[in-house]
Structure 1
Amino acid sequence: MSFTIYGAAGSGSVPVEAALTLLGLDHEVIEAPTWEGEAQRDRVAPVNPMRQIPALVTPGGETITESAAILIWLADNHPGARLAPAVDDPRRGQFLRWMSFIPASIYSMYWVRDEPSRLVGDDDAAQAAVLDRTAGRIAACWAVMDAQVNPGDFILGDQLTVLDLYVAVASRWTPRRRRFYVEAPNLAPVVRRVDALPELADFWPRRFPFEADEEG
């Protein structure tokens, strides 16, 4: 039996799909770009009443939502792959800290950015202000994280974890990589290293290909 992941190219499902790929776990992706409208959100509704992606259905039929929760669950249930520090590992606290920080402080901004009218109605000027301020908030949060980590090859040292996958994907969203490199110079070489992982050489072009303006 295999996993089923409700997701979309370039979305928050991509780090989960990358983890499944690194773990060598069979999985099917049900494409559901929920930001495109009600029909796509309705597609996810049977497994996630919030109608959001990603949602993972395990071979046993359990549904897990929220990118960070899925990534931690996958890593903890496959300890041999060493994609997360063990519970008794001294790095575990910082791992959980940043795995929580990203969705709470950064990822949450995209619910607003996808449809600013949710908060400010149809006022074009207000929507533009929301987009500008959320981009600034995201950049500021990356700077906060960057100032408090001391990476090796990867964020927690020399071992790749799902945290690296999460940051590598989220850093490619607005305000995009060029701004990320300025705000987070310590994390910049880490995400480039994740981009270049040979184990994901075929994965990235399929699920989050670099575009001509990707660094902009």
Structure 2
Amino acid sequence: MADGYRLYSAEGSGGVAVEAALTLIGAPFEVIEAVSFEDDAPPDGEAVAKVNPMRQVPALVLASGEVMTESAAILIRLGELHPRAGLAPGPDDPRRSAFLRWMAYVSSAIYAHYWLKDDPFRLVPDAGQHAAINQNIEDRIADCWRAMEAQTRPGRYILGDELTMLDLYVTVVSRFRPRRQRFGEAAPRLAEVARRVDSDPRLAALWAERYPFVDGWDRLPA
């Protein structure tokens, strides 16, 4: 799109956080479905390789043609490019340091584990070890959410009473396995924020289409 963004994303992926951000910003964008993280990924998963040789989503093509990858970096940059949307604290905002800290933390301490969790064969050829590896990863993810919970003081949202890219990021990543139940146990205050973002009417259609809940599977307990 010459006058907007082109986003390589996939249903149920971290790219949905970028879709949510662009929806709130109100910027025109085109989504190119590029499922590349499953063993039976369709051929269109190769589409993202044209812009990201790592074959990972999200990948965002800016109006200038420049390509950005890494969900946290994309969200931070979109916040800078669209300051009127109010989704990212500016350089002089006292929340800026915490914003950058926790965006990087979710990316490196939590999201990064899914490269191995999605396919343990990437590093461990012995399938007999995969169950233990999966359990250890899930335990580590829960510990990381617990640590973030202990070091934040959410209001309506994580950094206070205004929604930011960080809330969108946590809401989406917390839907990854081991799903919301364990996230809610490890980080109940963060879970309250995620529930609030889940119910934002501006995002209702997006969640239903791009990251739907399945009853009894992913929804936070009331």
Q: TM-score, normalised by structure 1?
A: 0.96
| 1:116 matched to 2:116 | no
Q: Paired residue for 1:15?
A: 17
Q: Any residues of structure 2 matched to 1:181-200 within 5 Å, and which? A: 181-200=184-203
Partner of residue 53, structure 2: 49
Q: What residue identity is the alignment partner of 1:135?
A: E
Note the residue ranges of structure 2 that are not aligned, 5 or more in a row.
Answer: none
Deviations along 1:70-123, one digit per CA (max 9) or x if unpaired, are 0000011111111011101111000000000011010010000111011111x2
Structure 1: gaps (5+ residues): none
Supply the distance in 2 between the matched residues of 1:13 and 1:143 (Cα, whole angstroms): 24
Taking structure 1 as reference, are residues 196 and 215 closer, same or farther at Cα in structure 2, changes over 3 Å only? closer
Alpha-carbon separation, structure 2, partners of 1:203 and 1:115 = 27
Deviates further, 14-23 or 36-45: 36-45
Aligned length: 215
Aligned mate of 2:168, from 156, 165, 168: 165
Amino acid at match of 2:195: R
Structure 1: distance between partners of 2:188 and 2:38: 33
- The percentage of aligned residue pairs carrying the same residue is 54
1:153 corresponding residue in structure 2: 156
Letter in 2 for 1:168: T
Letter aligned with residue 190 of structure 1:
V
Q: Distance in 1 between matches of 2:87 and 2:45?
A: 30
Map residues 1-216 of structure 1 onto 2, 5 A cutoff: 1-37=3-39, 39-121=43-125, 123-212=126-215, 213-215=217-219
Encode CA deviations 1:50-86: one digit per residue, 9 max, x unaligned: 1111000011111000000000000111111110111
How far off is 1:124 after superposition?
2.3
Shift of 1:40: 4.9
- Quote the RMSD (CA, aligned, Å): 1.2
Alignment partners' CA distance in 1, 2:21 and 2:219: 24
What letter corresponds to residue 173 of structure 1 in structure 2? F
